[in-house]
């Protein structure tokens, strides 16, 4: 027994020694800085070194985030789960340069370089061979099949060739028309003549709106506020319910193994929604391929189906599983991110009533000139609606970090707080992250970055320092889809309703800063997710 224990202790010692040696190599690869607490980074090191915290748990490790949520603050343990959202630019300000290096010991000793420098980010984003996408971080998104997000190289090029035509001008027009229909259906048949609508959380209205839009413009399934109540033969839930349940719980399906999805009633229902949505999509493929009369549709699913033609060499351009996998990824990208962004937009407009009134006056003036319901051709007139959307995306980007890695030994250069520059080595295999929120709050690019000021996007603005849609050739394919839907929702809502923060007795007497922090509080889940946004929509 004593010998067995000795062997086990020896193995543990060897493991710890190997881990520490790997950790030492990892932090030396980006420049040695001793263990430092948060916000205690200094410039008293050689210029090529990158300051940053060294932690026991790597904050890029998902299980480490789960562990961290269950523990009180422990120095040198790990960052809080939503540290990228809450930290803003402060880590870079403390470092005195627009790059920091964060390293963790467990489970794998690794160092990650975070960038908040627009030029360095542009260099990485446009140098695909030097800085490819780390597919290991995206494999969970292939739950329905391989897709354009979780691919790289030749496979990604093939998917892009097939999927890009789906985002056509006709599809964008469909988005505008259907969003308009959904909003007027809400006003006329749900809210009706009620002088005010009180919402305990704004996502209660923005999630269904985004769900209905992606339902019709993505899948060709028109869903209204009162329709789709009967479960069709061969199914256990409606398309609307399957889409809503899965899209609201995607994190569970992506993160948990299959066996764990049967542990609770909730996870079993999510798993059922997954199976049901897949069955609906398979049926749509079969129905459209076997239809004698080919109806011309302009939703994304039809666009993918049209593009997935037989290869001239006798093969198939895209398999059914890949077709469903890419359709699913459009659901993921086009539902939750839109709903959360709109929620933040209405929160900011409620917090800044002067900006809301300025937006309303522009919309009212345009509508007077149009003398009718705005069409897709009129969308570009609503410049302030787009500016509100962009300012929301600047302050609350859906994805706070975009990962890359170095495929070869190279180097990068970033600006320093003193006006100088730092050039540092980036060894092959090094992880990098675009720190989107830090970039969006970097005072070198954005004047008064903590203030909601949509007008900044009506002037000259730093386009390379705006990254809600990523950058380079891997930029978001659905950007026009997202913008069209969001502009329509913001414009029509502001035309009909004024939005205010819901007054609650427990918050009487709070300052503007306290109210702002409370209403815009968020956490880093699958995307940047608003906590609770209590609003009142008052009919104009």
Q: Annotated binding residue at 297?
A: no
Residues 54 and 33 sit within 8 Å (Cβ to Cβ): yes
Tokens 């666009």: give the residue.
303
- Angstrom distance (rounded) from CA 301 to CA 221: 10
Looking from the CA of 430 toward its CB, the CA atoms found within 13 Å total: 30
- Angstrom distance (rounded) from CA 306 to CA 216: 17
Query: In terms of DSSP bridges, do strands 401-405 and 410-415 run parallel, antiparallel, or are they unpaired?
Result: unpaired
Residue 530: strand, helix, or coil: strand
Q: Is the dihedral of CA 385, 390, 395, 400 positive or negative?
A: positive
Note the pLDDT of residue 33: 44
Tokens 């790597």: give the residue.
58
Note the pLDDT of residue 24: 66
Looking from the CA of 363 toward its CB, the CA atoms found within 13 Å total: 25
Quote the Cα angle for 273-274-280, to 5°: 85
Q: Name the token pair of 526.
A: 């699958």
- Angstrom distance (rounded) from CA 45 to CA 311: 58
- Angstrom distance (rounded) from CA 71 to CA 82: 14
Residues 431 and 137 sit within 8 Å (Cβ to Cβ): no
What radius of gyration do the chain's Cα atoms show?
25
Residues 98 and 442 sit within 8 Å (Cβ to Cβ): yes
DSSP, residue by residue, 152-167 = -HHHHHHHHHHHGGGS
Secondary structure element (H or E) that encloses residue 402, with its range: strand 401-405
Note the pLDDT of residue 4: 66
Tokens 């933040």: give the residue.
344
- Angstrom distance (rounded) from CA 447 to CA 453: 10
Note the pLDDT of residue 293: 54
Quote the Cα angle for 32-38-44, to 5°: 45
Note the pLDDT of residue 414: 95
User: Per-10-residue mean pLDDT for the chain, 540 residues long?
Assistant: 69 68 64 43 50 76 64 73 84 92 78 94 93 82 82 85 85 94 94 96 93 85 73 88 78 76 90 89 78 66 70 60 83 84 98 98 93 90 98 96 92 92 88 96 96 97 96 87 97 97 94 96 86 97
Note the pLDDT of residue 111: 79
pTM: predicted TM-score of the whole model, two decimal places: 0.88
């Amino acid at each position: 027994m004593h010998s067995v224990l000795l062997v086990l202790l020896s193995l543990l010692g060897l493991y710890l020694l190997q881990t520490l040696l790997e950790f030492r190599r990892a932090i030396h690869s980006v420049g040695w800085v001793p263990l430092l607490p948060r916000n205690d980074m200094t410039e008293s090191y050689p210029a090529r070194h990158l300051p940053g915290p060294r932690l026991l748990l790597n904050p890029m490790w998902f299980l480490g985030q789960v562990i961290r949520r269950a523990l009180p603050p422990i120095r040198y343990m790990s960052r809080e789960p939503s540290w990228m959202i809450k930290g803003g630019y402060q880590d870079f300000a403390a470092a005195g340069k627009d790059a920091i290096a964060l390293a963790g010991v467990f489970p794998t000793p690794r160092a990650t370089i975070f960038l908040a420098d627009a030029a360095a980010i542009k260099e990485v984003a446009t140098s695909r061979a030097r800085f490819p996408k780390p597919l290991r971080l995206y494999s969970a998104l292939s739950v329905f099949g391989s897709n354009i997000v979780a691919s790289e190289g030749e496979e990604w090029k093939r998917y892009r060739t097939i999927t890009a035509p789906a985002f056509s001008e006709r599809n964008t027009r469909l988005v505008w028309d259907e969003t308009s229909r959904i909003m007027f259906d809400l006003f006329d048949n749900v809210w009706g003549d009620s002088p005010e609508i009180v919402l305990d959380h704004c996502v209660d209205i923005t999630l269904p709106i985004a769900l209905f839009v992606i339902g019709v413009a993505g899948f060709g399934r028109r869903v209204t506020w009162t329709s789709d109540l009967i479960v069709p033969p061969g199914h256990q839930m409606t398309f609307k319910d399957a889409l809503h349940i899965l899209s609201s719980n995607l994190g569970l399906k992506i993160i948990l193994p299959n066996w764990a999805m049967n542990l609770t009633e909730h996870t079993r229902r999510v798993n059922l929604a997954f199976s049901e949505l897949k069955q609906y999509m398979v049926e749509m493929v079969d129905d459209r391929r076997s239809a004698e009369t080919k109806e011309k549709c302009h939703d994304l699913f039809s666009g993918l189906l049209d593009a997935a033609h037989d290869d001239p060499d006798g093969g198939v351009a895209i398999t059914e599983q890949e077709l469903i996998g890419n359709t699913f990824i459009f659901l993921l990208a086009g539902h939750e991110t839109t709903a959360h962004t709109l929620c933040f937009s209405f929160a900011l407009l409620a917090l800044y009533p002067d900006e809301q009134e300025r937006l309303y006056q522009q919309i009212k003036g345009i509508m007077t000139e149009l003398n009718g319901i705005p069409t897709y051709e009129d969308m570009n007139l609503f410049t302030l609606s787009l500016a509100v959307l962009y300012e929301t995306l600047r302050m609350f980007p859906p994805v706070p970090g975009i990962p890359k890695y170095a495929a070869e030994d190279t180097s990068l250069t970033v600006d320093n707080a003193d006006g100088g520059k730092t050039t540092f080595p980036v060894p092959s295999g090094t992880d990098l992250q675009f720190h989107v929120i830090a970039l969006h709050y970097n005072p070198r690019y954005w004047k008064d970055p903590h203030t909601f000021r949509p007008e900044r996007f009506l002037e000259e603005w730093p386009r390379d320092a705006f990254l809600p849609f990523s950058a380079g050739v891997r930029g978001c394919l659905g950007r026009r889809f997202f913008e069209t839907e969001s502009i329509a929702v913001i414009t029509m809502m502001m035309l009909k309703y004024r939005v205010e923060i819901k007054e609650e007795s427990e918050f009487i007497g709070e300052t503007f800063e306290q109210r702002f922090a409370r209403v815009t509080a968020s956490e880093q889940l699958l995307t940047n997710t608003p906590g609770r946004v209590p609003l009142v929509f008052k009919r104009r």
